[in-house]
A and B are shown apart, each in its own frame.
Chain A
Amino acid sequence: MTTAAPLLSLQNVSKRFGGLSVITDVSFEVAKGARMALIGPNGAGKTTIFNLISGFYRPDEGQIVLDGVPIQQLPSRKRVGLGLSRSFQNIRLMPHLSVIENIMLAQQPHAGGLLDMVKPIALPGFRRWQREAEELLDAMGIDTYAGDVVATLPYGVRKKIEVVRALAAKPKLLLLDEPAAGLNAAETEGLTDFLKRIALTGVTLLVVEHDMGLVRKLCDDAVVLNFGAKIYDGPTATVQDNPLVLEAYLGPRHSKTASGASDQKGAHHVA
């Protein structure tokens, strides 16, 4: 991790639902411009961490700092204005809006003023936001579907559009919740390149993903969670040599036989 101030830092964050402790004392930092993965077995609390960062839940303890600003008490709709944007595990595009309208909706933090709200968005002379959305779609290589209603589009395309929508808010930090879930190998390949291209524009990525192939290709660093606690924080390359990680995924017997055969087995299981 670099010595510069991190873009996002979680400090001793805990979250309980009633008596169930979901996140216990988790701390980690995401450096500016990093591509970091957040991994762990099912139920480890990855999505909960995302929900805490994006404001869907409030932490019971601890601090979440985005670019120097503590955000844990900020209403969720104000966080996007500070440069935080996310995609969802299940695609959550607005099904009755067209692709271009979905993108334009995400421009809200830059166009939410009273005057902008009552100006038409699709009439001649008022097309500024629409043009911007079209340019973004073009730049991301999705230019054939702009006017189509989302509900009619194939799954893989919708998945990409959701990422583009998250980008329309011009975020500093992009949270991606299982971007490759439900995609086939070729589509995942395409998505990996797509995400790399996004990272090159200077956006910091924090990715929850089960596909270890994608994680290794895309992310330099990884945080591993198990039962709501952090068990690993370091480079992606060595994550499978860590006994705690192996134990979390494969059970206690495998924790001693590091690397080699179990590495492959582990990769298989995780994928």
Chain B
Amino acid sequence: MSGYMTGILTVLSINIIMAYAIFLPAAAGQLNLGGAGFQALGAYATAFLSAKYGTPSWATIPAAMLVGGLVGGVLAFPLLRTKGVYLVLATFALAEVIAGAILNTTALGGAMGLSVPDYVGANVPMIAAACVTLFVFYLMATRFGLVMRAAHDDDVVTDLLGANVRAIRVVAFALGGALAGLSGALYALAFSFVDISTFNATISIYVLLYVLLGGTQTAFGPILGATFFTLLPEVLRSVLPQVKAFLAGIFGQTGAIAPPDESWRFIILGLLTVLMMIFRPEGLVTRTFIERLKGALRGQGARRKGAVA
């Protein structure tokens, strides 16, 4: 495998884990725009333990998950008192506070960042991403997952049906924090360096985008959204020059064609995002979509015929 491919697979694995970190609260109806903050917590926990105490990665990774999960669980109580847009703003502010705190802590390197003496190859993030995906699929198949999805649709009725919506949401938020911590730890170990400016608002927004455009109703959504948005810029990187050369050929231009401007990739990415919001407002993969797919695979459209009067 080329270094380029390994690099992409590492980033993809980290992004998939991150997408599931945001998916869990989102599936329960809570938007978290502070993903980068939790990721930074995990990354710095790993970097600090590794740099200061030489802790091996098999211990720093769980430690990073613990830090993310604990902070998520504790802060879920005040955070989840807010709803809708206010929750989005509160989580966003939280990420900024975390970034500010790390930036001003000399023990964590401040603006200089921290080098991580430890290192893991691409196989560790890949295995971790596979495990996280399996875990989330399992979770969504339990009663816990059922109540989470119900709380997303109608929290008042879910409560009246006897479920503790608040507890479910706190747990979902904490699990999300732990997964974000995991992705941060893997980032720190894969790139051997952490710098707080990496964990900025753009990351939080992108990850939320993966999840919302992938779909929050099933566990297929985040993996699809993360894969699509991680690979698209890379695909465009290789395809766009060819497209430009082709178009230039049509218009009769010959000779050396300069590669297209970098910003075209982001224009196309933005355009696709807007189109997806228009045509698939509930995400690429919805529950109905899965049911239709299952129905088509079984080939039984006739079962609806005996309708109940």
Query: Residues on A close to B: CB < 8 A?
Result: 54-56, 76-78, 80-81, 86, 88, 92, 94-98, 101, 104-106, 108-109, 111-112, 116-123, 129, 141-145, 147-149, 151-152, 154, 157, 160, 165, 169, 186-187, 190
Residue of B142, B157, B160, B307 most packed against chain A (CB within 10 A): B160
B288 adjacent to A152 (CB under 8 Å): yes
Determine whether the beta carbon of B308 is less than 8 Å from that of A97.
Answer: no
- Are the CB atoms of B154 and A111 closer together than 8 Å? no
Q: With an 8 A cutoff between CB atoms, is B198 at the interface?
A: no
Which residue of B161, B164, B291 is within 8 Å of A147 (Cβ)? B291
Kindly report which residue of chain A lies nearest to residue B304, judged by CB atoms: A144
- Do A111 and B287 touch across chains, with their CB atoms under 8 A apart? no
Dominant SS among interface residues on chain B:
helix
Bound form: Cα–Cα A57–B217 in Å: 31
Contacts of A143 in B (CB 8 A): 308
**Contact indicator B147/A96 (Cβ below 8 Å):** no
Q: Output the least CB separation between B304 and chain A (Å).
A: 7
Whether a CB of chain A sits under 8 angstroms from the CB of B255 is: no
* Neighbour of A56 across the interface among B156, B158, B308, CB < 8 A: B156
Contact B154 A92 (CB under 8 A): yes
Contacts of A78 in B (CB 8 A): 162
Closest B residue to A166 by beta carbon equals B161
Is B138 an interface residue, CB under 8 A from the partner? yes
**Assuming the A-B contacts A56-B156, A77-B163, A105-B147, are A96 and B303 also in contact, with contact meaning beta carbons closer than 8 angstroms in the complex?**
no
Asked if A117 and B161 make an inter-chain contact with CB atoms under 8 angstroms apart, the answer reads: no
A77 touching B159, Cβ below 8 Å: yes
Contact B160 A111 (CB under 8 A): no
Give the one of B156, B162, B307, B309 with max A CB within 10 A. B162
Tell me, yes or no, whether B150 is within 8 Å of chain A by CB.
yes
Chain B: which residue is nearest A142 at the CB level? B308
When the two chains form the complex, which single residue of A80, A101, A160 contacts B146, counting CB atoms closer than 8 Å? A101
Q: How far is the CA of A150 from the CA of B63 in the complex (A)?
A: 42
Q: Which residue of B lies closest to A189 (CB)?
A: B309
B304:A55 contact, CB within 8 angstroms = no
Nearest CB of A to B18, in Å: 24
Give CA–CA (A96, B307) in the complex, Å. 21
Inter-chain contacts of B169 with A (CB < 8 A): none
Residue in A112, A117, A145, A187 whose CB lies within 8 Å of B142: A117
